[in-house]
Amino acid sequence: MNHSLQTDIQIRTGSMTDCVGMGYFFLCEDGSCACVNNGDYKFLNNLTKGSCEQVRDGDGGIVKLKDYIIPEDKQLLDEHIQRCSEAREDIVTILAIQMHDGNTQQIQLNSLSGHIREYYGQKGYLTTMLNLRDFQGLKDVFQRLEELNLVGKIAGTVAHEVRNPLTVVRGHLQLLSWDESLKKHTEKLETMILEIDRAVEILTELLYMSNPTQSKLERENINTVLNNLFQLLNAEALVNLHEVIFDLNPVPDVMLDKKRFRQVVLNLVNNGFQAMENHSSIIIRTYFNEGKVYFTVKDHGKGIPPDVLKRIGTPFLTTKTNGTGLGLASCYNIVAQHGANMEIDTGPEGTTFTITFDEVI
C-alpha cells in the first residue's frame, strides 16, 4: 500500500482503531476481504475461529466476508458492492454477521470513494469496518460525561450561592472582632474568619473551574498557580486521608493557560490519591534546571502495571471501576497544547509524573 494512501486512511479513520474496534481492508466484488489491517485481522480472526492467518501475508490474503453475513443481510452486502461501483461518494451499510459462537454481531462498512485496486481480476474498494458493539460502551461513557457536566454546572451554582452568605458572615465577624466589649473572644473570632476565608477560597476555585473559558496562553508562574490551589488540594487530601507536600523552588515564568494547567494538576493529584493506601503523601515539586522548568507530582502508590503503562494516555483506558479513562488523555492533550512534554517514572514505591516546559520567558 503506497504512502499517500496510508496517510489518507490515517486521516479518515484517525486514532479510533484502538478504542472502537475499527479497521480497514479492500472489499472485493465477490464479497471477500483483502489486505486486512491489524484492527480487522483481530476481529475477523475471531469470526473465523483463527482461520484467517493468511490475510497478514500481504495482498494475497483473502477472507470471504460474505460467507459470515447472516442470510437476510447478504443482499445488503451485494447492494453495497454494487453502489461502490457506481457512486462517487462514500457508501455506508450496517450488516449483521454470524460469529463462531452462534451470536450475531452488527458491523458497519464504510467504503471510501476514490480508492480502488485490482485483486485477482476483480475490483477491491477500500473499506473501513466498525464493530458497533464497541459503540455501546462509548455511548455509556458519553452519557456519564454528560452527567458529570451537569454536576459541574450545579456545583458552580451552589458554590456561587454558598460563597455569598459566607462573605456576609465574615463581614459581621470582622465587625465583632473590632468590638472592645468582645475582646476576650478575639482569638475565636479570628479563627472563624480564617476558616471562612479558607472555605470561600475553595468555593472560588471550584466556581472558577466550573465556568468554561476559551483556551488562552499567558505569561504565568507555575508556583503562583500552585499556591492558589493549596487550599483546594489540602481539602481534597483531608477527604482522602492523605497529605499534600509542596516543594516549590524559584522558577521563571512560562506561557500558561491557568485553568487548563489547574485541570492537569488536579487530575494528577487525584490519580495519586486513588493509587495510595490511606495516610500517604503526594509531593508536588517545581524546579529550574538547564533552561527548563520542571513540575512533578509524586505519589507513594504501588506503581503502574506494565500492561497499563504502555497504553497510558489512551482515551477510555481506565483501571477504576467508575472511571471514564479520559483524565490522563486530557492531561497529555493539555500538556501538548503548552508545547511541553510529560514523562512517567513508576515502580513499586510510587509513580512520578514530570512535566517539562522547554521555553521559558
Nine-digit cell string for 215 = 483556551
- List all residues 6 or more positions away from 57 whose beta carbon is below 8 Å from its beta carbon: none
Is residue 263 over pLDDT 80?
yes
pLDDT digits (tens, 9 = 90+) for 180-190: 888 888 889 98
Coil, strand or helix: which one is 251?
coil
Mean residue pLDDT across the chain: 78
H helix or E strand, kind and range, residue 152: helix 133-177
Task: Choose the most confident range, by mean pLDDT, from 17-31, 137-151, 212-226.
Answer: 212-226
**50 falls in which pLDDT band (50, 70, 90)?**
low
pLDDT of residue 14: 38
pLDDT, residue 313, reads 66
Assess whether pLDDT exceeds 90 at residue 210. Answer: no
pLDDT, greater one: 130 or 297:
297
Q: What is the per-residue pLDDT for 12?
A: 37
Cα gap 254→293, rounded to integer Å: 8
pLDDT of the residue at 245: 94
CB 300 within 8 A of CB 276: yes
The helix-helix angle for 186-210 and 258-275 (nearest 10°) equals: 110
Q: How many helices (H) and strands (E) does the chain have?
A: 10, 13
> Looking at the domain 215-361, which fold is it?
Heat Shock Protein 90 (3.30.565)
What pLDDT score was predicted for residue 18?
40
Give CA–CA dist 17/117, Å, rounded: 23
Same fold, 133-212 and 215-361: no
Q: How many CB atoms lie within 10 A of CB 207?
A: 17
User: In the prediction, which pLDDT does 63 show?
Assistant: 73
**Phi, psi angle pair for 109, to nearest 5°:** -100, 130
Domain edges within the chain: 3-131, 133-212, 215-361
Asked if residue 155 has pLDDT above 60, the reply is: yes
E strands, the chain, in order: 22-28, 33-34, 62-63, 91-98, 104-119, 122-131, 218-220, 243-248, 254-256, 281-289, 292-298, 341-347, 350-357
In angstroms, what is the C-alpha Rg of the chain? Answer: 28
What was the pLDDT predicted at 55? 46
pTM, full prediction: 0.51
Q: b/e map of 48-66 (b: 16 or more CB within 10 Å)?
A: beeebeebeeeeebbbebb
Q: Check: CATH 3.40.50.2000 for 3-131?
A: no
Question: Tens of pLDDT along 71-118?
Answer: 999 999 999 988 888 877 888 999 888 877 777 888 888 888 767 787
| pLDDT top residue among 315 and 136 | 136
Domain range 133-212, CATH architecture = Orthogonal Bundle (1.10)
**What is the distance between the alpha carbons of residues 334 and 336, in angstroms, rounded to a whole number?**
5
Closest CA to 237 of 177, 283, 195, 194: 283
pLDDT at 52: 55
Angle at the Cα of 123 from the Cα atoms of 38 and 85, rounded to 5 degrees: 110
